[in-house]
Structure 1
Amino acid sequence: MTDNNTANKTAYSSEKKVKLNKRSFQSLLGIYKFIIPYKWQFIVGILSLVFSSLSLLTFPLASGELIDVASGNSSWISESINTIALILLAVFFIQSIFSFVRVYFFAQVNEKSMADVRLALYSKLMSLPMTFYDQHRTGELISRITSDVSLLQSTFSTTLAELLRQMATLLIGVVVISFMAPQLTAFMLATFPVLVILAVLFGKKIRKLSKTTQDQLADTNIIVEETLQAIQAVKSFTSELFEIKKYNASLTAVVGTALKAAVYRGLFISFVIFALFGGIVAVIWYGASLVEAGTLTVGELISFVLYTTLIGGSIAGLGDLYGQVQKAVGASERVLAILSKQEELDPTQYYRGKNQLNIKGQIEFKNVDFSYPTRNDIQVLNKINFTINRGEKIALVGHSGAGKSTITQLLLRYYNVDQGEILLDKQNINKYDLLAYRHHVGIVPQEVILFGGSIRENIMYGRPGASFEEIQEAAEKANAKSFIETFPEGFDTLVGERGVKLSGGQRQRIAIARAILKNPEILILDEATSSLDAESENLVQQALDRLMENRTTIIIAHRLATIKKVDQIYVLKSGQIVEQGTHDELNQLEGDYSNLVKLQLQSAGHLA
C-alpha cells in the first residue's frame, strides 16, 4: 500500500518545480520541436506581442503630453488636445488589433502543437515494452499525458507570452524614463533592491507552504482513489464512516496549511500594495520638487508615474511567471524522458500491410532461463525444454508462481529470455517482425478486459475492419450470439467500463469471439474457465473447443478436468518441468500431477 501511495503522490505532484539552469532550459526548448511545423504562426504571434507591448508603452508618453498641452507647456507633438486624444485612441486601437492577432495565432500554435505532444506521448506509450510498464504505475503515466501536457499548454499559450511582455515592458520602460527624467529614474531604482529582497523572502515562504498544501491534497486524492477503486470492500466491511472520518481528517490538515499560506499571501499582498503606492507617493513627492524647480513638467511627471506603475506591475508579475516556468521545465523533462525511451515496435507498420508472415505453428523452447527485469535475483524459469507440433494442444499445470504464465508471456515476446531460445517454425521468434508475429498469436485470458464501447467494437478488436457478418459468425461460434441478441441494442449494446455490464461468462465468450475473428495460428488459454459457474463454463468450453480446432494451443489450467484430452501435459514446479505426459500417464506416476488431481477431487467432495 505504501508503494502505491508513493506512486500516486508522484502522479498528483506533477507540477513540482525544478531549479532553472542551462540544462533545464534545454529540456523546455526540447518541446519547441513540436512548434516547428507551425513556426510561421508562432513568428506572427511573437511580432504581434512585441508591437502590442510597444503600442501600450506609448500611452504614458501621450498621456503626459496631453496634460502638458492643457497646461500650455507642450513642445512635442501639437498644441491641440483633440489631436493628442485621437493619437491615444489610435494607440489603443492598434494595440487591440495586435492583441487579437497575438491571441489568435498563439492559440493555433498552442492547440495544434500540444495535440501533437499528446499524440506523440500516447504513440510512444503504445510502442513501449512490458518492462517499462513493470516500472511505472498507470496513475503516473496518465499524469504525464494529462497534467504535464496541460501545464505545458498553459505555459506555451500564456506564461511565456506574458513573460516576454513583462520583460519587454520592464526593459523598454526603464530606458524611456531614463531619457525622460534621469534624476527621478535614479531615485526610483534606488528603492528597488529592498522591495525585491522582501518579495523574494515572502515568495519563498509562500511557495513552501503551497508545496505542503499540494502534497497534503495529493494524500486526500489518494484516499478518494483507493476507496472508489475498492468500493465493494468498503461497503462489505461497513467502513463508510471510517473512510469519511479519514478523508475529513486529511482535508482538515489541508485547510490548516492552506490558511497559513493565505496569511502569508495576505501579508505579501498588503506589502506589495503598500510598497507600490508608497513608491508612487515617493516618486510623486520627489517629482513634484523637480516640477517646482522647473526641471520637469507636470505632463512628464504624469508620464513617469504611469511608466513606474507599468514597470512595478511587471516586476510583481515576474515572480509568479518564474514559478510557472519552473513547473513547465519539470513537466517538459518528464515528458521528454518518456519520448526518449526505446520502443519495441512501430505501431503503424503492420497496418500499412507490411511484413505478413506465413506461420505454421510449431513451437520449441530450448534451455530457456528467465528472471523478470524488476526481480533479477529471482529465477522464474530454469532450463525449460519442450516442443509443440503444429496443431497440438498442450497444458501447463502447477501451483501459483511455478512459471506457467511466464512461459506464455515469453512466447508473446513481452520479455526476452535470459538464456536459451524460443523457436517458431524452427526460427528464433526474435527474428520475426514483432507486430506481424503477434498478429498470429491469440489469447483468451482468465480476467477478460473489455473496452468501454459496444459489443460489436469489442469483438471487432480482434480484426479491425471486419464485416458485420464476420462479427456475427464469430459470436455464434463463441456461443455469444444468443445472449447478445437478447439485449435491446444487440451488438451495439455498450458493455460499460471494463465490461462491468456483462457477466463473467458473457465477457469470456466475447473474448473468445474476438480471438475467433482474429483467427490466429497459435492460441493461449490462460485459465479461461477457472472463475465461471457450471453452466457458463460448459458454454465457454464448447466455444473454446471450436476455437482450438486446427490451432497450436497452450492451455494454463487450474481445473484439471478441462485438460484431460490434450496431447501433452507439462507439470511445472519452481520454474522447472518436473513431469510430462498425457493425463492417464501422469496419473499413474503418483507424482505432483496425481497429487493435484487428488486435491481437486477432495475439494470437490468437500463442496458436495
Structure 2
Amino acid sequence: ADANIDPVLSINGAPAENSAKHAEAPLEGLGSYLRTFREFIGGRMYLVFALMLVEALLEGVGIVMLLPLLQTLDSGSAAPGRFAAWITEGLTGLGIQGAVPVLCLVAVVFLVKGAIAFAASGYGGFLRAQLQKSLHSKLYDAYSRMSYRYYTSRDTGYFFNLFGQVFSLISAFQSFSGFMVGLIKSAVYLGMAVIVAWRFGLAALAVGFGLFFLFRQLTRRIRDLSRESAEHMGSVSSTFVQTIQAFKYLAATHTAEPLRKHVLANVERTGDLGARLNLVMAFTNAAREPIAVLVIILIVVVQLSVFEQPLAPIMVSILLFYRGINAVLGVQANWQSVQAQAGAVEVVRDEFRRLASEAEPNGTVSAALLREGIRFDQVSFAYDSRKGDVLSGVSFAIPARSTVALVGASGAGKSTVIDLLTLLLPPRTGEVRIDGIRGTELEKSSWRRQIGYVLQDAVIFDDSFANNICLWSGDPKTDPALMERVRNAARSAHLLEFIESSPDGFDSLVGDRGIRLSGGQRQRLFIARELFKEPSLLILDEATSSLDSEAERVIQQSIDELRGRMTVVIIAHRLATVRTADQVLVFDQGRLVEQGDYASLREREGSRFSAMVAAQAL
C-alpha cells in the first residue's frame, strides 16, 4: 500500500472507536453469563437445565422413599417423624407396601432418572457441537464482511487467536452448564434435606453459603488471571504466525536467534499465568471432597449427641446432604472454571459486537457486467487527515475493455487508487462511478465478483492445481464442463503444458503457498485462477516485478492476449510491461500529473513519464 492506516484513526482521519471503547463490561454475575451464552445458543440451553431439574427431583424422590424402610430398621429410635409418616401413607395409598415393592419403585425411579440424565447430557453435547460450528461459521462470515480499515488495524495473529479462543468459549459453556446443573441439584437436594430433617438441612445450607464466601476471593483471582492470560495468548499467537510466515528469511539469515528472547518473554509470561491459574483451581478440586466429609461428620455428631434426633431421617438427610454439598462444591469448581475462561468469553463476545459495528457499509444497486467503464471524479483520500491527502483531486476514466497502466514512484497513490476502485476504501471527497453508478450505491459483492486481482505475492492454497484454479467451486473430476473451464484458464495463463507434465496432472499438489512451484509458475497459477472467474476487470498489481525475464515474458504474453476481452488495470514499475497499454496514468505525490498512451508520453519533452523511461534505459 502507499500509506499505512493508523489503527487509532478512522478511514477519513476521524478518531476511531478503539478496542477499549468497543469492549463491553466485564463478565461478573450469573445474569451476564446467561445473556452472553443466550446470544450464542438461544433459549435451547434452558431445555438442558429443565431436564437436569427433573433428574435431580427424581433422584431426591428416590432417596426419600427409602425413609420408611430405614425407619423400620431403626426400631429402637423414637416414633417415626411426620415426614416419614407422610411417605408411608403415600406409598400405601398407591398400593405399595413392604420392602421389596418399595425397592422396586426406587429402582424404576432411578432408571427413569438415568434416562433423563442421558438425554440432558446428550443434548448438552449436541449444543456444544452446534455452538462450535455456529461460532466458527459466524466468525468467518463476520470477518468476510468487516471493513478494510478494521482489517488493517489488526495483525494476522490477532485473528488466528480469535478462532482459537472459540474453543475456550465452548469449554466455558460446558463449565457454565455444570455450574447451572450444580445450582439446580444443590437446591433440590438441600431443600429435601431440610424437609426430612430441618435442623440438619439448615446446617447444610449454612455450610454451603459459607463455602461460597470462602472461595469468593479465589474465584475473583481466577477471573483476573484468565483475562490477563487471554491477552498474552493473542500476543503469542501473533508472534508465532509472523515467525512462521517469515521462516525463509529467518532461516537464511540466522535471524531466529535474536527473536527468541522476544518470543520466549511472551511464552514465559503466558506459561506463568497458566501455572498460577491451574494452582488455584487444583486447590479447589483437592479441597472439595475432604470438606464435604468433614462437614457431614460434624453435623451428624451434633444431630445425634446434642439434638438426639432419630437416626433414619438423619441417614436420608446424609445421602441428600452429601449429594447436595458435592453439588455445592461442584458449583464452586465449575464457577471457577467459568472464570478461568472468562477472558476467552469476553474476547469472543466483544469481537462479535465490534465486528457488527465495523461491518462494511453496503449499497443496494446490483452491478451489471461492466459495459461503459469506471470514472474517478475529483477523488481525494486520506488515511490520516493530520498528514494530508494521499490522493488529491484525481479524475480519469477507464473505458470498458481497455488496458490502463498506473505508474509512478512508491507512495505516489497507485495502490490507493486500486483500493478505491475495488470499493475497499471510500473517497474522502469526490466519487468513484462504475457504469455511471456511485460506488456507495452499489452492492459491493456484485461488483467484486467481476474483479480478478493478481498481486505481486501470489495467493496459493495448499491443494491441487485444479482446486487452486476453480477455488472448490465444484469437483473437476466429476464435472467435465468445469474441468474444461479449468483447462482453458490454465491454457490462457500459459500453464497447461507444465500442469499436464506434472506426475498427477491437475491433481498434483502445489504445497503450502505454492512452495513446490517457481515464482513464475505461482504467478501463472494465480492468473489462471483469476481468468477462470471470467472477470470484467482484471487488476495486475506488480504481477511480474519479482520474476526473471523469461517468466515475465510469458506472463506478459498472457496479459497481451487479454486486450479487448476484458478491462485490464496494471500497476507496474517496469515500464516495459505497459508498452501495449491503451492509456498510461502517471501519478506523483498523490496527484495525476500525466495521462496518454505510452508512445506519446515517452516522446513528450520534459514529461515525468519520459524521465522515468530514460531512467530505465528503455
Q: TM-score, normalised by structure 1?
A: 0.82
**CA deviation vs aligned residue, 1:488-544 (integer Å, no higher than 9, x gap):** 111122222332222221122122223333333333221111110111111111111
Partner Cα separation in structure 1 for residue 359 and residue 279 of structure 2: 48
* 2:34 is the counterpart of 1:31: no
Provide the residue aligned with 2:15 in structure 1.
none
* 2:80 is the counterpart of 1:70: no
Provide the residue aligned with 1:499 in structure 2.
514
SS in 1 for 2:580: coil
SS in 2 for 1:397: strand
* 2:385 is the counterpart of 1:335: no
Q: In the TM superposition, what is the alpha-carbon distance from 1:412 to its structure 2 partner?
A: 1.3
Q: How does 1:375-414 map to 2 (within 5 A)?
A: 377-414=387-424
User: Which residue identity does 1:409 align to in structure 2?
Assistant: D
Provide the residue aligned with 1:363 in structure 2.
374
Q: How does 1:190-269 map to 2 (within 5 A)?
A: 190-209=206-225, 221-239=237-255, 264-265=280-281, 268=284
**CA deviation vs aligned residue, 1:83-103 (integer Å, no higher than 9, x gap):** 444344333312211111212
Partner Cα separation in structure 2 for residue 555 and residue 592 of structure 1: 18
Partner Cα separation in structure 1 for residue 448 and residue 472 of structure 2: 12
Partner Cα separation in structure 1 for residue 110 and residue 608 of structure 2: 88
SS in 1 for 2:509: coil
Q: In the TM superposition, what is the alpha-carbon distance from 1:192 to its structure 2 partner?
A: 4.7
Provide the residue aligned with 1:535 in structure 2.
550
Structure 1 range deviating more: 298-307 or 70-79: 70-79
SS in 2 for 1:402: coil
Partner Cα separation in structure 2 for residue 249 and residue 285 of structure 1: 55
The 1:135/1:179 distance shift into structure 2, 3 A limit, reads: same
Partner Cα separation in structure 2 for residue 24 and residue 262 of structure 1: 22
Provide the residue aligned with 2:64 in structure 1.
61
Contact 2:157 2:241 in 1 (8 A): no
Unaligned runs of 5+ in 2: 1-5, 8-18, 89-95
Q: Root-mean-square deviation (CA), in Å?
A: 3.6
**CA deviation vs aligned residue, 1:583-603 (integer Å, no higher than 9, x gap):** 3443443343233233333xx
The 1:570/1:336 distance shift into structure 2, 3 A limit, reads: closer
Contact 1:361 1:521 in 2 (8 A): no
Partner Cα separation in structure 1 for residue 230 and residue 451 of structure 2: 46
Partner Cα separation in structure 1 for residue 69 and residue 196 of structure 2: 16
SS in 2 for 1:196: helix
Provide the residue aligned with 1:311 in structure 2.
324
Partner Cα separation in structure 2 for residue 458 and residue 67 of structure 1: 74
The 1:334/1:28 distance shift into structure 2, 3 A limit, reads: farther
Structure 1 range deviating more: 467-476 or 180-189: 180-189
Partner Cα separation in structure 2 for residue 431 and residue 249 of structure 1: 49
Contact 2:190 2:205 in 1 (8 A): no
Provide the residue aligned with 1:147 in structure 2.
165
Provide the residue aligned with 2:13 in structure 1.
none
Provide the residue aligned with 1:90 in structure 2.
108
Query: For 1:101, which of 112, 115, 119 is the aligned residue?
Result: 119
* 2:496 is the counterpart of 1:481: yes
The 1:470/1:273 distance shift into structure 2, 3 A limit, reads: closer
Q: TM-score, normalised by structure 2?
A: 0.81
**CA deviation vs aligned residue, 1:299-342 (integer Å, no higher than 9, x gap):** 21112222222222222222343345552752434334435654
User: Which residue identity does 1:366 align to in structure 2?
Assistant: D
Contact 2:204 2:325 in 1 (8 A): no
* 2:593 is the counterpart of 1:578: yes
User: Which residue identity does 2:140 align to in structure 1?
Assistant: Y
Unaligned runs of 5+ in 1: 5-9
SS in 2 for 1:103: helix
Provide the residue aligned with 2:92 in structure 1.
none
Q: In the TM superposition, what is the alpha-carbon distance from 1:558 to its structure 2 partner?
A: 0.5
* 2:148 is the counterpart of 1:130: yes
User: Would you say how many aligned residue pairs link Structure 1 and Structure 2?
Assistant: 574
User: Which residue identity does 1:389 align to in structure 2?
Assistant: P
Higher helix share: 1
**CA deviation vs aligned residue, 1:371-426 (integer Å, no higher than 9, x gap):** 23x77744111011122334332221111111111112211111221211223344
The 1:249/1:581 distance shift into structure 2, 3 A limit, reads: closer
Provide the residue aligned with 1:18 in structure 2.
27
The 1:338/1:528 distance shift into structure 2, 3 A limit, reads: same
Partner Cα separation in structure 2 for residue 324 and residue 422 of structure 1: 53
